[in-house]
Amino acid sequence: MDLHGFIHIILINWKKILTGTIISGLIIFLILVFIFPVTYTSSATLLPPERKKDFGISNLIGSATDLNVIASNILSIASSEMYIQILKSRTVSEYVVDKLNLEKKFNTKSKNEAISKLQEMLSFDLSKEGIVKLSVDVTSQALPILTANKDSLKSDAKLIAQTLIEGLNYFNNIKLSNKSKKTRIFLESQITQTKVYLDSLETVLVNFQKKNKTFSLSDQMKAAIEAASKIKSEITRLEIELNLIKGEVTEDNKYYTSLKKQLEELRNQYNKFDTDRIDYLLSFKNAPELGQEFASLYREIRIQNEIYVMLQQMYYKEKIQENRDIPAIDILDEPVIPEIQSSPRIFFSSAVGTIFIFFGLCGFFALKDSKLRKFLNTE
What confidence tens digit (pLDDT) does each residue in 147-186 have?
Answer: 878 999 999 999 999 999 999 988 877 776 677 777 888 8
> Residue 8, Cα to own-chain centre: how many angstroms?
63
More confident residue, 64 or 111: 111
Residues 232 and 272 in one domain: yes
**Could you tell me if 318 and 362 lie in one domain?**
no
User: Which segment, 115-129, 141-155, 318-332, is predicted with the most confidence on average?
Assistant: 115-129
User: For residue 349, what pLDDT is reported?
Assistant: 92
Looking at the structure, tell me whether residues 236 and 289 fall in a common domain: yes
Same domain (yes/no): 190, 312: yes
Structure confidence by residue, pLDDT tens digits, 64-92: 333 344 334 333 334 678 888 889 999 99
260 & 186 share domain? yes
pLDDT attached to residue 19 = 93
Average pLDDT over residues 186-215: 83
Tell me: pLDDT of 117 over 90.
yes
Report the domain count for the chain: 2
Domain that holds residue 350: 1-36+344-379
* Mean of all residue pLDDT scores within the chain: 79
| 241 against 278, higher pLDDT | 241
CA-based nearest residue to 37, from 269, 287, 263, 342: 342
Mean pLDDT along residues 300-316? 86
Q: Is residue 124 part of a domain?
A: no
Asked whether residue 213 carries a pLDDT value surpassing 70, the answer given is no
pLDDT at 163: 96
Backbone angles phi, psi at 249, to 5 degrees: -130, 165
Q: Which stretch of 17-31, 61-75, 84-98, 235-249 has the lowest confidence by average pLDDT?
A: 61-75
pTM over 0.85? The answer is no
> Residues 250, 196: one domain?
yes
Amino acid at 77: I
Task: Please indicate whether residue 55 or residue 119 has the higher confidence score (pLDDT).
Answer: 119
C-alpha span between 21 and 5 (Å, rounded)? 21
CA distance 361 to 19: 10
Say whether both 182 and 319 belong to one domain. yes
Give the separation between CA 12 and CA 45, rounded to whole angstroms: 55
pLDDT of residue 56: 41
Predicted local confidence at residue 146, as pLDDT = 82
- Give 258's pLDDT tier (boundaries 50, 70, 90): confident
Cβ contacts of 110-118, under 8 Å, gap ≥ 24: 115/90, 118/93, 118/160
Report whether pLDDT(260) > 70: yes
Same domain? 219 vs 278: yes
Q: Residue 369 in 3-state DSSP? A: helix
H helical segments located in the chain: 3-12, 14-30, 57-61, 70-75, 80-88, 90-100, 102-105, 111-120, 144-147, 150-212, 219-245, 254-271, 289-323, 346-378
Statement to judge: residues 349 and 285 lie in one domain = no
| Residue 69 lies inside a defined structural domain of this protein | no
State the average pLDDT over residues 244-268: 79
